[in-house]
Every structure is written in C-alpha cells, then in structure tokens.
Structure 1
Amino acid sequence: MASMTATTGATRLLKRKRKPVDWEKDFYKNGYPKEVIVIDDSPTPPPHHNASSSSSSSSNGPTIHTPAYGSQMQHYPSSSSSTHYHTAALQGPTLHPDEILHSLKKRRKELQALPAAASLSGHLLAHDKSAVAIATKQAHAPYDDKDGHLIMQPNDYLTARYKVMRMLGQGTFGKVVECYDRVRRTFCAIKVIRAIPKYREASKIEIRVLTTLKERDPLNLHKCIHLLEWFDYRNHICMVFELLGQSVFDFLKSNEFKPFPSTHIQHFAKQLLTSVAFLHDLKLIHTDLKPENILLVSQTCHMDNKSRVLDNTEIRLIDFGSATFEQDYHASVVCTRHYRAPEIILGSGWSYPCDIWSVGCILVELFTGEALFHTHENLEHLALMEACLGKIPAHVSRPAATFAQKYFKNSILRYPDAKTTRQSREFVAKMKTLNHLITPDTPMNVEFRDLISKMLVYDAKERITAREALRHSFFTL
C-alpha cells in the first residue's frame, strides 16, 4: 500500500506544475537526500557529461561527441518504455551533496533538470547514506599525490559516470584503472594522465592519433585500441577504452617465461604487422613497440604439459602516447631500450624501419621467452647486436652522431673498453647468434628465422617493410 501511494504521488508530481518549494529542506533530510521512487515511462535523455564533451540526439538515441579532436561518437539506444521501479541503492552515489545543493539553488527547475544525479540514464538518482559518505570523503581528500598522479581508491568516482573498481597499472604517464560505466552498464579501462603540463600536452597528441585511427578504421580491422571517449577531470585528461585482457608480457611472465607455441607466434606476428602497416600507411610511427604494449583480447587459457596455453590469440596494439607523424618533430631518443633500433642508438636518424626492428625483437622474445637484447647501456647493447647478428657495417656506423662516435674506432666497435665490467664481458660472451636462437629444425622455424633476419638488419634502408613482411612465406605455413 505504501508503495502504491508513493507511486501515485510520483506520477502526479510529473504531470502537474510544481509549486515553489524549499529545495534544501525538501531534498535533504538529516544531511542526506531522501529516497525517491522513479518511474521509467519515457525514453532516456542524453547522458550527463562534462565540458570536454557535448551531446546531441539522433534517431538511434543520444549521441556523445568528443569535439576537441574530431568526429568520433558513440550511440546509445533509448531505454525501454516499460515501467520499472528503482531505488537509490540500485544506482549508487553520484555527485557530492554540496555540489548538488549548489546546482539546486542556482537553477531551481524541474526534477529532471538536476545535474548528473537527475540526468544519468534519465532517472532521478537518490543517495543512500553510504553513497554520500563515499562522495564526501572523496570530495574533501587531496586530489593528487606529490608526483601529480590522481589519488584513487576502489569505489571512488571519475565524474558521476565512472566508478573505480581496481588499479590495472601505473607508468610515467599516469594510471590505468578499471571502471564501471553507469551509462553503458559495462566495464571499461580509463587512462588517467598525470596533472603535469608536459604529460597533459602529450595526452592531447595521443588523443589526436587515436581519433585518426578510429576514423580511418571504424571496424577495427587493424587491431589498434579504439578510444571510446575522453574527458578532463580535476585537471587530469582521462581516456576511456574497452576493457581487455593482460599484456603479452604479463602472460609470458605468469607462464614462467615459457615460449609461446609457433602457431601462436605466427598469429601474433600477422596481427602486429597488420597494425604497424596500417600506422605506416597513415604516416605514423609507433616508436614504442614492446610486449607490454600488446594486449590480449582474452586471457582465458588451458593447461598443457604444465604450461598455460591461450585459447584465443587475438591482440590489440596500445599506447600511442609516443606515436609520431612522419612530418612532426622526431625526438632524439625513442623506444624502450631492449627494442631500440641501432639507428636510434647511433643518433643517425630514425623513421618507419625502427618499428620493424622492434617487431623483430618482440617475436624473438616470444619464441625464446627472454628479451633478445637485455641491457641498459649503449655500448653493451651494440656489442650484443654484433654477437647475435654480426659486425655493424662501416656505412652504418660512419653517419653516427657526434655523441656516438666514441663507440667506434676506424668503424670498429670499441668493446670492451676501459670501463667495461667483467660481468658485462661475460654477459656479451654468452650471447647466442640468431642461428642458434632459432634452430632450423622445422619448416616453420626455417621461415621464421628468415623473416627475423630481414627485420633485424642494421641498415634501416635495407630492412623489410611491414607490408613486405606480411607477404613472407612464414605466414603461408
């Protein structure tokens, strides 16, 4: 009976013009919003979002735009016209009470005109005590740590829409967290950039790159991560992506660095080269290809001879924060150390071929389980290259930048030198040649080694391209 009375009252409220009320007194009770029962009897209005986005509607439902960098948009279907009854406990917290109260005093319009609390999913969302407690704690806590990272805990909110579930990773750029999207009603990954000017500017370049990728490949046939939307939250650029599995490196690590099966490597290689070829066609160079930047779509697996074997080898290429258009400024040092091409170390200029060198290093790592050139110093890195691939040709070392000339004398690598440690000498001495790392004991290994030998060529001009690599006989087996 009480429920029926509440329903009748709510219906009348929506049908007749409201009399002036004391919003603060009416909406709050003992400092907390009262529970409200809401009737779903009309299509969902456009979801609330911040100043970084704007919304419009179409025949397919509301559309969210991210106009700062292009025309990407997502369509959301209108809600069902059937009647449902919701309480605040089902919706969870939205904005801090003070923020809601400020908006109420300012506008004093109909209930549906309330800020995010009223517009999300087209319902009036009431708060329960625990929700307000979380929002209050989050609102009064310091936003950033000393390094400019946004301080986040499970159950915190990135705007009223995204509820933080858990931390997925942290890097120089910022953090990645798993969130629940209360509009799409699904989970997603959000990259939260540090509130430092240089990282904010870099993130805007990444958004420009991601927007270009999505516009040119809306069906994602080229296996690059797609940006769903972005927003600015407390001076942090936040980029929203689909939630994927762990990285190839993390899977390798969890599998005790056991090599992947040859057929898996073949599929990884084809997808990765497809992504790189697509980037290069767009005049883009990724510059930071490594196993950590290759995510599995699904990490489900089964055990086979005490080893984890993936059930699905589909991947996505991620992290375009260092991606560079060919016509843009080229930084002197790019790529993570282990996957860095010789032309970068020598400072002789880099372009598309540096990505191919990185792919070659990645594929060998998937084959052996260990990084091909596991070092942190330039001279030792070059020495490992020579131990594995043979002497660096004079026409490659001669154009080296002034700072790299010290590594050579008469076009011969000066290793070891007076500063070389005994551990370094022993480490380089243990380096195997490419022929020993990839033994030609199967037809697939023969073709795989041939492909790698064409990728790991010192002279960038003679290195195979991504399109040429895709036509290699390794992929016909």
Structure 2
Amino acid sequence: MCMFLYKVETFIGEGKVAKCKKLGTDQVVAIKIIWGSGQMEINALQGFSQIDADDHNLVKFMESFKYKKYTCIAFEALDQSLLHFMEKRDFHPLTVDEIRTITWQLIVALKGLKSINLVHCDIKLDNIMLVDQGSEPFRVKLIDFGLAEKIGHMRTGAPIQNICYRAPEVILGLPLDQRVDLWTVGRLVEDDLHCLDKTKLKELEQLVDLLKRMLMEDPSKRISPSEALHHPFFTMGRVQPTAGRWRDYIFRLARSQPELLVFGE
C-alpha cells in the first residue's frame, strides 16, 4: 500500500498508525491515519514551528496529506510507548533517577506547550514515547495532540483527559487551563511509575513533595512547570545525560541554567 511518497511497512497497535518508508530514501516515519479532517490536531502541531519541538520533548511533525477520505499525519518514527515498556517489565518499579529523568522531560514539554498557549488534554502512558531506549535510555517525547486545545478555548465540562488522570476542575466543570496537564503528569508518576528505592529516602521525600505540589486540588495553588523545574527533586538530584540530542540538550541546559542540573555525587 502506498500513500503518495510513502510505502507502508507495518501497522502499529490498533492500526491507526503505520510505520512507513519514504520512497526513494531510507527515511522511516510514523503516519497517523485519521478518518475526517484532523484539522484540530494539524493546527496544534503547526504551532510547534514557534518552538524547537525536539528541545521541548515533543514529537516532530513532518507533514500532513489526504489519502482518499483519510487525513494522514507524518511524524518522526520513535521506539515504543512508555505503556508498552512498562507492560513488558510487568510494571516493575523504576529507580528514582529514572523517574526524575522522565518527569523532568514531561515538565519541560508542558513548559513548551504553555509558551505556545497549548494544552495537551490527553497525557497518558501510551502518549509518551521512548525515543530510542537502546541508545538514549529514558529519553521521552509527548505524542498525540488529537485533543489538544488552545488556552482560553477550553470548554467547561468538555470530556477531556483519561478518567484515571482527570483533573478535579475537569470533573467539577470549573474553568480550565494548562494546569490540567500538570495534574495529569503528577497522577501518572504517582500511580504508574512506582519507585521502591529505599536507599534514597531523601530523594523520595523530595519526589513526594513535588507530587503534592503538582496535585493540589485547587489549580490556583498548583505548582507551575517553571516552578517545578526548580524544585529540589531536580536541583538536588541528578538528571542523567544520555546519548545523542538528549545529552546535548542537557548540556545546553547546564550552560544556560546551571542551577537546575547537578551531575555526579
């Protein structure tokens, strides 16, 4: 099956995403196939042109096109979802350093989205992708912006977010903004990325304190992404560099905001 310049190699998951190769090249991409226009998601993705998606841990949008009655959206190909990774290890707890690395990246992603007035509205383990677990351990990116909304355009009472991670203001029908995403990341870390590393009690205490601030029921009292990145869980711990661009990204942060990163003991 060919879609213009792409040849489908295999379908992923429920068949809504295809792993494709661009004809005449060795470039492999992921193509999301949507019935209908998919215009809301395309609009959200086009907003990434205002920031560096890679630096903000957001999936790279390449192009969109029509195929018969479907809309096809091409993205960079990534490794596997965090859900798939956790399922393969039977949800065995992560280390505190692994949790720190993932949480840091997700909060950086939220900071980037806030800068372009965008709210994801559907963060969950299967919408967080490991870039390449072999070469860049626990380097993650946020994907699937099908429910994304502009801040200020969010409708009270809208059925957004997975029910397991739904913010109180969504449930109660209160005014909504970007703080719903921070709540979701907090619940996801608390519920799904367990840590039983009893050798690092101080760091676990810092993690618990960060989660308490992310999970304030009153959104006006909830910590912001910028504030969260200055929390002791990050500033007193270690956000571990890995290979490739994630390593380069961490080093750039170390130069521009050295107070946020501490490497070594």
- TM-score band by shorter chain is 0.7 to 0.9
1:467 to 216, 223, 226: 226
Residues 1:184 and 1:217: Cα distance change in structure 2 (over 3 Å): farther
Contact 2:51-2:112 within 8 A present in 1 as well: no
**Alignment pair present for 1:175 and 2:1:** no
- Structure with higher Rg: it is 1
1:453 aligns to what?
212
Q: Structure 1 residues 353, 219: closer, same or farther in 2, change over 3 A?
A: closer
Shift of 1:329: 4.3
Maintained 8 Å contact 1:193/1:236 = yes
Q: What corresponds to 2:43 in structure 1?
A: 208
Matches within 5 A, 1:137-176: 156-159=1-4, 161-170=5-14, 175-176=16-17
Q: Which residue of 1 aligns with 2:180?
A: 354
Counterpart in the other structure of 1:296: 130
Contact 1:265–1:367 (8 Å) recurs in 2: yes
Q: By how many angstroms is 1:194 displaced?
A: 1.7
- Counterpart residue type for residue 219 of structure 2: A
Q: Deviations over 1:394-424 (max 9, x none)?
A: xxxxxxxxxxxxxxxxxxxxxxxxxxxxxxx
- 8 Å contact from structure 1 (residues 439, 446) kept in 2: no
Whole-angstrom CA distance in 2 between matches of 1:439 and 1:347: 39
Change beyond 3 A, Cα 1:461–1:438: farther
Instruction: Return the alpha-carbon distance in structure 2 between the equivalents of residues 473 and 453 of structure 1.
Output: 13
- Measured in 2, the distance between the counterparts of 1:299 and 1:440 equals 25
Q: Does 1:234 align with 2:60?
A: no
The separation in 2 between residues aligned to 1:212 and 1:176, in whole angstroms, is 22
Q: Which runs of 5+ in 2 are unaligned?
A: 238-265
Deviation track 1:404-450 (CA, whole Å, cap 9, x = no partner) reads: xxxxxxxxxxxxxxxxxxxxxxxxxxxxxxxxx99796111011000
Query: Which secondary structure does the structure 2 equivalent of 1:332 belong to?
Result: coil
Q: Which amino acid aligns with 2:8?
A: V
Correspondence for 1:319: 144
User: Contact 1:245–1:297 (CA<8 Å) still a contact in 2?
Assistant: yes
Shift of 1:327: 2.6
Spell out the pairing of 1:380-391 with structure 2 (5 A cutoff): none
CA 351–218 in structure 1, closer or farther in 2 if over 3 Å, else same: closer
2:133–2:139 contact (8 Å) kept in structure 1 = no
Query: By how many angstroms is 1:259 displaced?
Result: 1.3
**1:282-309: CA deviations, max 9, x gaps?**
11111111111110001328xxxxxxxx
8 Å contact 2:12–2:19 — kept in the other structure? Answer: yes
Distance 1:367 1:178 in 2: 28
Between the aligned partners of 2:61 and 2:131, the Cα distance in structure 1 is: 15
The answer to whether 1:285 aligns with 2:119 is: yes
- Relative to 1, partners in 2 of residues 1:359 and 1:179: Cα closer, same or farther, differing over 3 Å? same
Aligned residue pair count: 235
Deviation at 1:157, TM superposition (A): 1.5
Name the aligned partner's letter for residue 246 of structure 1: Q
- State how far apart, in whole Å, the 2-side matches of 1:271 and 1:256 are: 23
Distance 1:216 1:184, change over 3 A: farther
Distance in 2 separating the partners of 1:298 and 1:289: 20
Q: Structure 1 length normalisation: TM-score?
A: 0.47
Tell me how far apart the structure 2 counterparts of residues 335 and 219 of structure 1 sit (CA, whole Å). 22
In structure 2, how many angstroms separate the alpha carbons of the residues matched to 1:190 and 1:242?
9
Gaps of at least 5 residues in structure 1 are 1-155, 302-310, 370-436
Cα gap change, 1:219/1:247 in structure 2, threshold over 3 Å: closer, same or farther?
A: closer
Conserved 8 A contact 1:262-1:367: no
CA distance in 2: counterparts of 1:186 and 1:175, whole angstroms: 20
What are the equivalent positions in structure 2 for 1:70-109 lying under 5 Å apart? none
Deviation at 1:177, TM superposition (A): 0.7
State the distance in 2 between where 1:440 and 1:279 align: 35
Normalised by the length of structure 2, the TM-score is: 0.83
Report whether the alignment pairs 1:276 with 2:121: no
| Matching of residue 262 in structure 1 with residue 110 in structure 2 | no
1:441-473 deviation line (CA, Å, top 9, x unaligned): 611101100000111111111111111101101
